[in-house]
Structure 1
Amino acid sequence: MQTYIFDFDGTLADSGKTGILATQDAFKDFSLPIPDYKTVNYYMGIPIEVSFKKMAPQHVFNEQEFKDLMDCFREHYKKNELANITLFNGILPTLQTLTQRSKSLYVVSSKNSVALLRNLENLKIKKYFTDVIGSDQVQHFKPAPDGVLSIINKYHLNSDDCIMIGDAIFDLRMGKSAGVHTCGVTWGAHDPDSLLKEKPDFLLSKAEELLTI
């Protein structure tokens, strides 16, 4: 494999606590029913533009209210991220080794690109990636293939040499829709059984195992 396309939250970095706290605080601020940990964790793989409406299905948002809710979430997220977002075990040496082997690395995330770039900088891993794609840079969100296809088209990549790596079923579905190989990782949001049902090409339990595919 030559090209490795990573999800961010739950794959490269453990940011679940940050996203959960920010979601619950934002919903509380807007007097919405507060989703529990399990619900927020499940929807971490898709953008808040989609997940927030799924977590408040009985509420009818007008455009301004929904924008204000998302802005509120982002404010809470930024307050918590430095203290709570960390790299998963083995990620840094794995990225270093892949780079030494002249592999091409990218990130496709459901997170807004501003926050995504800030997180990558804070974790000191941005330098390992040729490019990153956030939710604001695609027309259709995960599990649509837009993010992966934009990278393939921009850099003229061979899809047979590309693999999408993620912790959520949405990542695997995106990869399959884009026609690339897929790899589920078990240290993030979704359990192994859920990932296996998507029939990924690989299912890994340690970051270092990425060096064997």
Structure 2
Amino acid sequence: MDNFFFDFDNTLADSSNVAVVATQRAYQARNLAIPTRAAIVDYMGVPIEVSFAKMAQETLSVAELAALFTEFRQQYQQAERAGMTIFPGMATTIDALKTQGKQLFVASSKHSVPLQRNLEQIGLGQSFTAICGSDMVAHYKPAPDGILNLLKRFDLDPQRSVMIGDAKYDIQMGRRAGVATAGAMWGAADPVAVKEEQPIYVLATPAALLNL
């Protein structure tokens, strides 16, 4: 493989607790029923523009959802300062892939500004050729738009490209984009669901990426 597309949350960085805490605090702040940890984890990998309405027990207006999104982003920025860490072995793997001349990208459900901020936080701010956040696509995961955006922008060969992610939505996105898929099992909250999508590669550690 020549081109590597990474999800961010729970693929590059261990951030599941950050998302759970920020989500629950956001719903609480807006006086809404607080989603369970299991419900939040199940929707990880899906943009909040899609998942938050589904997790809410109440019917929310467009304005109420917008306020909830804003509250979440504020809560997330507070929670991320102490609760987000890069996975062991990831930094050295990224460096090794770059040394081999591979092109590295991030295709995430985060907006591009917090995505770049989080990459800086875990020490990978300058490690990727480009990123594609959810604010840069017309359709969210599991739609293939994020990968297709990068394939087109950089004239990449899909047959020499792989999507790496910890959630079923990442595998679905990669398959729909026509690239190879790799399950990042080191961060998968639901390994069974990922394997049921039949990714081409099932990887136990970041170092396994060097063998693709």
Alignment TM-score > 0.5, same fold: yes
Q: Take 1:192 and 1:206, find their aligned partners in 2: how far apart are those partners?
A: 14
Amino acid at match of 1:48: I
Q: Which residue of 2 aligns with 1:84?
A: 83
Q: Which residue of 1 aligns with 2:69?
A: 70
Deviation string 1:68-122 (CA, Å, 9 cap, x unpaired) is: 1000000000011121110011100000000000100000000111110101112
Residue identity over aligned pairs, in percent, reads: 44
Structure 1 residue 159, shift from structure 2 partner: 0.2
Q: Which residue of 1 aligns with 2:8?
A: 8
Q: Which residue of 2 aligns with 1:21?
A: 21
TM-score by length of 1: 0.97
Q: Take 2:5 and 2:165, find their aligned partners in 1: how far apart are those partners?
A: 9
Q: Which residue of 2 aligns with 1:30?
A: 30
Please tell me whether the aligned partners of residues 22 and 77 of structure 1 are also in contact (alpha carbons under 8 angstroms): yes
Q: Which residue of 1 aligns with 2:165?
A: 166
TM-score by length of 2: 0.98
Structure 1 residue 189, shift from structure 2 partner: 3.7
Please tell me whether the aligned partners of residues 169 and 190 of structure 1 are also in contact (alpha carbons under 8 angstroms): no
State which drifts further: 122-131 or 102-111.
122-131
Deviation string 1:11-56 (CA, Å, 9 cap, x unpaired) is: 0001111110000001111121111111111111110001101111
Q: Which residue of 1 aligns with 2:180?
A: 181
- List runs of 5+ in structure 1 lacking aligned partners: none
Deviation string 1:125-161 (CA, Å, 9 cap, x unpaired) is: 1211000011111000000000000000010000000
State which drifts further: 198-207 or 58-67.
58-67
**How many residue pairs end up in the alignment?**
212
Extract structure 1 runs of 4+ deviating beyond 4 A: none
Matched, 1:118 2:132: no
Amino acid at match of 2:152: N
Matched, 1:212 2:202: no
Q: Take 1:30 and 1:79, find their aligned partners in 2: how far apart are those partners?
A: 17
- List runs of 5+ in structure 2 lacking aligned partners: none
Q: Which residue of 2 aligns with 1:53?
A: 53
Amino acid at match of 2:12: L
Please tell me whether the aligned partners of residues 188 and 194 of structure 2 are also in contact (alpha carbons under 8 angstroms): no
CA-atom RMSD in angstroms: 0.9
Amino acid at match of 1:47: P
SS at match of 2:139: coil
Structure 1 residue 191, shift from structure 2 partner: 2.5
Q: Take 2:201 and 2:190, find their aligned partners in 1: how far apart are those partners?
A: 14
Please tell me whether the aligned partners of residues 90 and 208 of structure 1 are also in contact (alpha carbons under 8 angstroms): yes
SS at match of 2:202: strand
Amino acid at match of 1:196: K
Please tell me whether the aligned partners of residues 44 and 189 of structure 1 are also in contact (alpha carbons under 8 angstroms): no
Q: Take 1:3 and 1:70, find their aligned partners in 2: how far apart are those partners?
A: 32
